[in-house]
Structure 1
Amino acid sequence: MQEQTQIFGIRAVIEAIHAGETIDKIFLQKGLKGDLFSELETLLRQHAITSSYVPVEKLNRLTNKNHQGVVAQISPVEFHDMESLVLRIIESGKTPLFLLLDQLSDVRNFGAIIRTAECTGVDGIIIQKKGGAPVNGDTIKTSAGAVFKVPICKVDHIKDAVFYMQASGIKVIAATEKTNNLLYDISFKEPCAIIMGSEDRGINPSILKVVDDKAKLPLLGDIESLNVSVACGAFLYEAVRQRL
């Protein structure tokens, strides 16, 4: 199983970007200057690669090699093009089932969701380029290898994915407590995409305004929310139940 790989050094990272490597995240040393570093920063903006400016101590913890103030993490999976994937699934004649994750941040939740998605026949998972959990060793381990079986797509904004799904005849359903509709009141038999929100903030309000349907799980205890991966499992298996 391929684990996440690190690249360090400014020139090595620049060459990796030019070579088309799938870079998940880059850590840059705060206060670093120079022409080569400026070239790298320009490349990161052009390719919309997520980066963080961190103290040198953080970089030293990531690697004991001569990192020159730059450490990049290469994703162990190849990401798919969302539009091509949606078109391929529609043309295959099956009823599409997609999963959109709005800035889910915990890698173990992400891994657990990917595992459930594989078990429930999800056709693809769409995540945002910035702000979400990376696909790293923890994700792979928690997903039990499912990360290599379910296509994952990255988009600039989840709202772009919502609009594309809708334009493709796919109903978008938000899993949110901000509704009176229970999960069991919604039809999942037609082509649909389910959106799950982040652990702390849920689904972005601007996204909730444009979805086709909203649904919540009945909570019978005192705690007001479920773990996002558990809630996602309940939604996906309701879709499976209806489609069987």
Structure 2
Amino acid sequence: MQKTPQIYGIRAVMEAINANEPIDKVFIQRGLKGSLAKELETLLRKSGVKPNYVPLEKLNHITKNNHQGVVANISPIQFYELETLVEDVIEREKQPLFLLLDQLSDVRNFGAIIRTAECSGVNGIIIQKKGAAPVTADTIKTSAGAAFKVPIVKVDHIKDAVYYLQGSGVKVVAATEKTESDLYQIDYTGPTAIVMGSEDRGISPSTLRAVDDLASIPLLGEIGSLNVSVACAIFLYEAVRQRQQK
């Protein structure tokens, strides 16, 4: 299995940030001290990258190289800015369709969802900076290369992206079992964003309170849930069906 490109060492990571490399994750040893470590943390704050503070054992597991307490994963793609993407899409598309993933954690699920999103005409995918599955080589492979075709945005909080989309005239629909309304009762023909939750926790309560509509998938068997990538496909293609009939 191909590994995610990595850089390690404080100075190397700082140079990568200054060179605008697409940093996906930064792991810093808990309790790391020194002037360089402080300088790195300041640089991360300015660049909007949130570090993950982990024990030394975690870093030693990530790489066998002399990491000096810092390891960074380089994303194989460039990420977009939320405001730029939304404004551009709304300007050129009559029926924009966005997808928000609330802390989805499995890279293969992420890849499968990106592939479905590309096939169903999604204009952009929005993920959270912290706690979300990274864009790795496995993600790219599972997406069948679609990760290079669908713009992906990273935000601090999904809820903030919901508010921004609503302010831009986009209706936001959350896929959740915590409602009696099913997805076939929702109108997806206008500007729409669909929110999918994480594999284990679903959509966060604060995000559920912020959206315009809640919708569930009718489940007729004994198993209480679908794989998130399958559920996402069902929602996206209901939007496709409605839009083709309009």
TM-score range, shorter chain: over 0.9
Q: Could you tell me how far 1:157 is from its partner in structure 2? A: 1.1
Superposition deviation, residue 19 in structure 1: 1.6
8 Å Cα contact 1:5-1:74 kept in structure 2: yes
Work out the CA distance in 2 between the residues paired with 1:54 and 1:88.
Answer: 38
CA contact (8 A) 1:180 1:216 kept: yes
* Residues in 2 aligned to 1:91 and 1:215: alpha-carbon distance in whole angstroms: 28
Larger deviation, residues 80-89 vs 97-106: 80-89
Contact preservation (8 Å) 1:3, 1:76: no
The one-letter code matched in structure 2 to 1:53 is Y
Partner of 1:73: 73
Instruction: Give the counterpart letter for 2:140 in structure 1.
Output: I
CA RMSD of aligned residues (A): 1.6
Alignment match, 1:54: 54
Residue 31 of structure 1 deviates from its aligned partner by 3.4
The corresponding residue for 1:16 is: 16
In the TM superposition, what is the alpha-carbon distance from 1:29 to its structure 2 partner? 2.4
Match of 1:114 in 2: 114
Given residue 177 of structure 1, which amino acid in structure 2 is its aligned partner? E
Look up the equivalent residue of 1:209 and give its one-letter code. R
**Alignment match, 1:220:** 220
Q: What is the rounded CA distance, in whole Å, between the counterparts of 1:31 and 1:159 in structure 2?
A: 31
Question: What is the CA-CA distance between 1:63 and the residue it aligns to?
Answer: 2.6
2:176 maps to which residue? 176
1:208-237 deviations in Å (ceiling 9; x for gaps)? 112111110000111111111110000001
Percent identity (aligned): 70
Q: Write out per-residue CA displacement over residues 44-65 of structure 1, whole angstroms, 9 at most, x where no aligned residue.
A: 2333323223333432333333
- The residue matched to 2:210 in structure 1 has which SS? coil
TM-score of the aligned structures, taking structure 1 as reference length? 0.94
* 1:93-112 Cα deviation digits (max 9, x unpaired): 43100001111111111111
Partner of 1:156: 156
Aligned counterparts of 2:23 and 2:9: Cα–Cα separation in 1? 14
* 1:123 paired residue number: 123
Once structures 1 and 2 are overlaid, which stretch shifts more, 52-61 or 63-72? 52-61
AA of the residue aligned to 1:107: V
Distance 1:54 1:208, change over 3 A: closer
Alignment match, 1:190 = 190
- Structure 2: how far apart are the matches of 1:74 and 1:83? 23
- Contact in 2 for aligned 1:104/1:132 (Cα 8 Å): yes
CA distance in 2, matches of 1:226, 1:148: 27
Matched with 2:97 is 97
Contact 1:24 1:50 in 2 (8 A): no
Question: What amino acid is aligned across from residue 100 of structure 1 in structure 2?
Answer: L
Q: TM-score, normalised by structure 2?
A: 0.94
Distance 1:156 1:55, change over 3 A: closer
Code of the aligned partner of 2:111 = G
CA distance in 1, matches of 2:84, 2:48: 20
The alignment partner of 1:39 has SS state of helix
1:26 is aligned to: 26
**Offset from partner CA, 1:102-140 (integer Å, 9 cap, x none):** 111111111111010011010000111111111111111
CA contact (8 A) 1:99 1:195 kept: yes
Shift of 1:162: 0.8
Alignment check: 8 A CA contact 1:48 1:129 kept: no
Partner of 1:238 in structure 2? 238
Instruction: Give the Å deviation of 1:3.
Output: 7.1
Gaps of 5+ in 1: none
Who is 1:202 aligned against?
202
